[in-house]
């Protein structure tokens, strides 16, 4: 099969680590690329380089020695490249420095003792059986020290370190292992060449004939350990598998949490205060109230005429109002979807109905309330409203403060409050920003204008409601109608027991 030109493709291929490390000369010698050896796990897939297929720049110093193909971690440069039957042998100089010392030590100690070539593929073709690519021309860019090679069964061939503990002879170790595919002869030749390059005067090495057996469990453990230690060599030596490759989310799956929480104002202190716990059953609330109340006076006795006055009543009534919200959704949400979505919709609509009702109650009470002259400070305003209530025989059940007045209230010292507020402990409920003092509730009300105070006797008004949720089938359009319908009424029974005032800044003297 003839070679065919293909677009330039970059490959990172880690071969069997066979390194000769001379710590004194600060050199590392090893097989840059084995020829005729099939590597299945590379960044370019299964690939084999023909003899003489790797080219390089004439200036060898341009070929850098990297760590894990990281261009920011250059620890040396090439000083010699030799073409052999086994492949391309390279020698690299590692200059002084902490990074270089670390690279030499880890290569010598077998921690990062593999070489991985980074090259551009200039010409290649597929093998006759289509199982792998055959490279006939490539250009060498860099060589990296890696921890895990593409040839998993081929381990360290030769490591020679000139530095050794004082008093001990230099150590030369050789392990001859079975290389994958067609690489056994290549590996043996490489080991001999490397040993000779590292120590030409050393005696013939002892050959260890035991071949370690690599299992799937062992390979997976090695990969997991390398990732846990942050080693990028796995990516350089093997084909990259990154999250982007799992577009189908077969392994990295999203975790469904449902609706995210979001803050919603659901407290209804005013409506709850005046709600008598009964459902609204009509669109009009009717009753009566005194126009002229019966009165008594001094009586002389002795069959004298007793005091009397004209009494009269007037009808009292209030119209209820209606509110609603509805949504027409595709029935697929009901037929095939998560029922939580429907419940979430009703829940959110109910929360908004509470907000709506609270605002309506506040507006109605404020419109009917008896005006009390404005005061220059909060304690005086509280005392004035308390006096108004005592005058007509009412009690103050609630003080509703605008936001700025609420801030003033929280800033007051205990001595600044009326005695009836400080007579007992006033616990502040941080969760809903309310204060309860005996039977008196003090709450902020963001619906009130700045400086406004609304106070009331809980008996001065009555609030009722009836709310329903509706599911209806829109058969012609294949939809489901979801709706919330409500009916409510706010009846002010005695406006004299509702008070409103404001806090105004005092006029500067002079």
Residue 277 — pLDDT band, cuts 50, 70, 90? confident
Which backbone phi and psi does 108 adopt, to 5 degrees? -65, -40
- Beta-carbon-side half-sphere exposure of residue 325 (alpha carbons within 13 Å): 12
Hey, where are the domains in the chain?
4-245, 269-502
Q: Is 296 helix (H, G, I), strand (E, B) or coil?
A: coil
More confident: 412 or 111: 111
Total number of residues shown for the chain: 510
Helix (H, G, I), strand (E, B) or coil at 452: strand
266 has a pLDDT exceeding 70: yes
Q: Which of 109-113, 372-376, 412-416, 441-445 has the lowest mean pLDDT?
A: 412-416
Decide if 371 contacts 500 (C-beta within 8 A). yes
Q: Which conformational region is residue 393 in: left (phi greater than 0), alpha (psi within -120 to 50 degrees), or beta?
A: left
Give the bridge partners for 289, in sequence order.
Answer: 314
Averaged confidence pLDDT in the chain: 76
Cα end-to-end distance, the chain, whole Å: 108
How confident is the model over 9-20, as pLDDT tens digits?
Answer: 565 655 545 678
> Which pLDDT value is given to residue 459?
92
Note the pLDDT of residue 179.
Answer: 36
160-169, 293-302, 456-465: range with lowest mean pLDDT: 160-169
User: Quick one: angle between helices 378-392 and 403-411, nearest 10?
Assistant: 100
* Range of 36-45, 144-153, 346-355 with top mean pLDDT: 346-355
Q: At residue 99, what are phi and psi to the nearest 5 degrees? A: -65, -40
Helix (H) or strand (E) holding 440: strand 440-444
DSSP 8-state code for residue 214:
P
CA–CA distance, 409 with 440 (Å, rounded to integer): 14
Range from 38-47, 312-321, 410-419, 427-436 carrying the lowest mean pLDDT: 427-436
* 343, containing H or E segment: helix 339-368
Averaged pLDDT, 484-506: 89
> Beta strands of 147-293 (E only): which ranges?
158-161, 171-174, 275-279, 284-292
Is 70 exceeded by the pLDDT of residue 422? Answer: no
Residue 145 or 194, more confident: 145
| Least-confidence region, from 92-101, 151-160, 467-476 | 151-160
- The predicted pLDDT at position 175 comes to 32
Q: Kindly state which CATH superfamily the domain 269-502 is placed in.
A: Major capsid protein gp5 (3.30.2400.10)
Average pLDDT of span 460-473: 86
> Residue 200 pLDDT more than 50?
no
Distance CA 340, CA 338 (A): 5
105/258: higher pLDDT: 105
Least confident of 103-107, 386-390, 429-433, 465-469: 429-433
pLDDT higher than threshold 50 for residue 182:
no
Residue 457 confidence (pLDDT): 92
Banded pLDDT at 418 (limits 50, 70, 90):
low
> Any long-range contacts for 223-226 (C-beta under 8 Å, 24+ apart)?
223/148, 226/147, 226/148
Reference 54, options 39, 35, 71, 41; nearest CA is 35
**Average pLDDT, stretch 211-238?**
45
Q: Phi, psi (5° rounding) for residue 288?
A: -145, 165
Please, which pLDDT band fits residue 443 given cuts at 50, 70 and 90? confident
What is residue 173's predicted lDDT score, i.e. its pLDDT?
A: 31
Of 36-45, 161-170, 387-396, the range with the highest mean pLDDT is 387-396
At residue 296 the predicted structure's pLDDT band, cuts being 50, 70 and 90, is very high
pTM tops 0.75, yes or no: no
Among residues 447, 455, 435, the alpha carbon closest in space to that of 502 is found at 455
Q: 49 versus 200: which is more confidently predicted?
A: 49
**Residue 2 above 80 pLDDT?**
no
C-alpha angle 298-495-319 in degrees, rounded to nearest 5 = 125
Rg (CA), the chain: 45
Name the least confident of 150-154, 314-318, 389-393: 150-154
Q: What would the mean pLDDT of 429-455 be, rounded to a whole number?
A: 79
> Is the model's pLDDT at 213 over the cut of 90?
no
Bridge pairing between strands 47-49 and 133-146: parallel
Listed ranges 155-169, 225-239, 348-362, 402-416; the one with the highest mean pLDDT: 348-362
Of residues 503, 501, 465, 460, the one with CA closest to residue 484 = 465
φ, ψ of residue 355 in degrees (nearest 5): -60, -40
pLDDT of 486 over the 70 cut: yes
Q: From CA 365, how far away is CA 493, in angstroms rounded? A: 11
Nearest to 456 by CA among 343, 337, 368, 351: 368
CA 133 to chain centre: 43
| Closest of 441, 486, 481 to residue 465, by C-alpha | 486
| CA dihedral angle for residue 135, residue 140, residue 145, residue 146, rounded to 10 degrees | -30
Query: Kind and range of the H or E element at 197?
Result: helix 184-198
Strand duo 370-371 + 498-502: pairing: parallel
Compare 435 and 121 and report the one with higher pLDDT: 121
Among 500, 456, 491, residue whose Cα is nearest residue 283: 491
| Residue 251: per-residue pLDDT | 79
């Amino acid at each position: 099969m003839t070679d065919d030109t293909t677009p330039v493709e970059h490959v990172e291929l880690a071969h069997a680590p066979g390194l000769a490390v001379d710590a004194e000369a600060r050199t590392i010698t090893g097989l840059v690329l084995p020829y005729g050896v099939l590597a299945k796990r590379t960044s370019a897939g299964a690939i084999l380089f023909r003899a003489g297929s790797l080219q390089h720049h004439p200036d060898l110093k341009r070929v850098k020695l990297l760590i894990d193909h990281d261009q920011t971690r250059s620890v040396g440069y090439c000083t010699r490249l030799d073409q052999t039957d086994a492949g391309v042998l390279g020698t690299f100089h590692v200059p002084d420095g902490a990074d270089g010392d670390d690279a030499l030590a880890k290569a010598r100690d077998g921690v990062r003792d593999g070489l991985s070539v980074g090259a551009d593929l200039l010409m290649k073709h597929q093998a006759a059986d289509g199982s792998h690519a055959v490279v006939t021309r490539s250009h060498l860019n860099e060589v990296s020290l890696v921890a895990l090679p593409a040839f998993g069964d081929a381990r360290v061939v030769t490591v020679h370190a000139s530095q050794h503990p004082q008093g001990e002879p230099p150590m030369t170790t050789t392990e001859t292992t079975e290389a994958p595919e067609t690489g056994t002869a290549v590996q043996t030749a490489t080991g001999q060449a490397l040993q000779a390059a590292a120590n030409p005067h050393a005696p013939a090495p002892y050959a260890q004939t035991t071949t370690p057996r690599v299992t799937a469990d062992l390979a997976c453990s090695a990969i997991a350990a390398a990732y846990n230690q942050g080693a990028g060599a796995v990516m350089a030596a093997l084909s990259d598998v990154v999250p982007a490759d799992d577009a189908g989310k077969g392994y990295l799956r999203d975790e469904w949490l449902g609706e995210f929480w979001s803050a919603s104002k659901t407290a209804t202190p005013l409506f709850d205060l005046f709600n008598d716990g009964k459902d609204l059953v009509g669109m009009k609330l009717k009753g009566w109230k005194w126009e002229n109340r019966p009165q008594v006076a001094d009586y002389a006795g002795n069959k004298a005429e007793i005091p009397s006055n004209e009494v009269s009543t007037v009808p009292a009534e209030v119209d209820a109002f209606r509110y609603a919200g509805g949504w027409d959704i595709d029935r697929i949400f009901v037929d095939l979807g998560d029922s939580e979505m429907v419940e979430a919709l009703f829940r959110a609509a109910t929360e908004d109905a509470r907000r709506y009702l609270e605002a309506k109650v506040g507006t109605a009470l404020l419109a009917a309330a008896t005006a009390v002259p404005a005061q220059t400070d909060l304690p005086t305003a509280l005392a004035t409203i308390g006096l108004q209530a005592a005058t007509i025989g009412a009690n103050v059940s609630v003080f509703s403060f605008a936001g700025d007045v609420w801030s003033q209230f929280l800033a007051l010292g205990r001595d600044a409050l009326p005695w009836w507020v400080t007579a007992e402990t006033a616990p502040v409920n941080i969760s809903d920003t309310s204060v309860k003092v005996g039977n008196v509730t003090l709450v902020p009300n963001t619906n009130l204008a700045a400086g406004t105070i609304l106070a009331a006797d809980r008996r001065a008004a009555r609030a009722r409601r009836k709310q329903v949720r509706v599911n209806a089938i829109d058969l012609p359009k294949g939809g489901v109608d979801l709706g919330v319908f409500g009916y409510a009424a706010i009846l002010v029974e005695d406006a004299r027991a509702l008070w409103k005032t404001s806090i105004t800044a005092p006029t500067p003297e002079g």
